[in-house]
Structure formats: structure tokens, C-alpha cells
Structure 1
């Protein structure tokens, strides 16, 4: 009796494995076709985006300029993260008249009925780390320029601005000694 149940389970698993593999292969084919449709301008971006997307208008606005150039290259196999959801690591090259992006990201997909859609176009957004680096870099530049201007005006007022101090002015390593010398000059 147990042998019969075991053989039935083995038979069911043997029959269902190819069906699951075929379904997954069909899904992978649909996902790749979806990326091809977006990059090749074969279908409108709003037809490729999840109809139930909360931020649908904002997502589609990124691709309103019909002259965009987009290349999505898969950098790995799709990961099916749950029933009806998948992610694919992609290399994104995106260019419009006003912006350009070349980065690695992840494309997110959602299954509605039997059709796959992009769940969002977040892969077109600049990475948060890049934004932080740009902001910090700008702040450092502003701090450097402001410090130089303040130090230069103090050196000028104290009569210490000469070729030697002007050369040191560009190197932050010398700033503490230069600020100190302007303070000493004021005290006397």
C-alpha cells in the first residue's frame, strides 16, 4: 500500500516538473519580450506598466519624451520573488535630451492574470547613493570655497597676503596655522 502511494507521488512530481519548468520558461520569455518592447519602442510605455500601479502617472512621465534611447540588458536570471512577482538584474543605459543614465539596477515585474507588466520604472531613477555622493561633494566644494574666501580676506586685512601665504591658501592642511597667524596679528 505504501509503495503504491509513493509511486503515485513520484509520478505526480515527474509529470508536474516539466509543466512548472515550461511555465517558468514561458514567464522568462514574456519578461524578456517586455523589456524588448520597452527598449525597442514597439509598445507604448503606459501599456507595459502595471495597470494597478499607484504612481502610474509619475512612472510613465519618465518616458513621455518619445525620443528616449533605452537599453535594458539582463545581467542575470529572473528571480521569482513570490506568486506573480519577479525581478531581473539589468544594465540600464537611458538617454534623453536632458538626462543620461548608465547604471546597474533591477527591473521589477508583476503578473496580472496571464500577462506580465513592469511594476514600476524605478530602474530609470538615479541611485540614491549617487545622489548622496553628489550632494556631499557639492557641500564639500562650497565649504572649501567659503573657507578660502574667509581666510583670504583675513590675510588681506592683516597684511599677511603674499605669494607664500597665497600658495598655502589652496591647501587645507595649512589653514589652521594661517587662521592662527591672523588671530595673532589681530591681538598685537
Structure 2
């Protein structure tokens, strides 16, 4: 199988590539630490599989998975993460990811999962599946998530309004509703709670 690795920690990316290259049936044809570059690599190299971290500059692993689904690429996406956030798993599944695996899995297990996925299977680390099963449902609408995501990045009301071409009043209403739903006292607290659950 031909694969691309997208992981912003250079040492981890290099070590993973070396270990995978030791397998006779695996060829690492591209590596990057940037999500946007990962999308370009996939267009150029047409790999069978992408191993992607969630937290990356350019685009997150989840955004890359969503872009690959939109482009109808045959490349299968495997999210490898340290985060057991139910909202992240939900987004990954909606984006068509074939695997969602914890980074602390032994390398032999990871390789076995990659082979399974390459052959048409799917795999979710059991701890992640359990966290998802017992998680609360996301109460936020898509627009509330968008607005909280901007607030989490430090944007003020006017900046958020300009970004989404909304009025300040509309943005304040979205923020107010989101704060109530998150049982928070401020937009920052609401954004942090949403982030901790993987909803933004």
C-alpha cells in the first residue's frame, strides 16, 4: 500500500515513516506537517491511504478528511490522535474516515489496522468508541459552532460578524445561545467547553 503521513511533529512523523517503510507491503510516498500540503500531496501522488493527525497548521486532519470526501478521492483516511474527544470522532466518521486510532497503540497493532483498512475494513480504537458511546450529544447548531470556533481563536464580535457577513447583533445572539447551551458564563468558557468535547 502507498501512503502519505500528515503529522506536524517532525520527530514522530519521521519515526513513523521509518517503521512503516520496514514493512514489505508499505511504501511511504509523502510526508508533511501541514494539512493544506497534505491535500496537495494526495492530489499529486494519489496514495491508497492518508495517516493524519488532528491538530495541524493549514488545515486540521478532520478538515483534510472532509476535503478528501468532497473531492471524491479514493484515498482512505486514518486519523491518528491523542484526543479521546467524542465530537472529533463524530466529525471524522461523517467525513468518511476509515480509521480513528490512538497514537499510543503499539506499532504492530497500527500496521495491522492499516492493512485491514487498506483492504476495505474500518477500525476505531476501543477507548475512543467507548468515549463516543457514552458522550453527550452536541447541542450546538453549525452556525453556533462556527461562531464559537472564531471566539476560541480570540476574535471579537465585530471580527466574527465581518468573517461570516453577519450583523453584530446576530453574532451576539448566536454567542448568547451557545453560552446558555454550554452552561457557561462567558464566550471564552463556552468555547473552551465546546473545544474540550471536540465540537469545535
TM-score (normalised: structure 1)? 0.21
Higher relative contact order (CA 8 A, sep 6+): 2
Please state which structure has a larger fraction of its residues in strand: 1
Larger Cα-atom Rg: 1
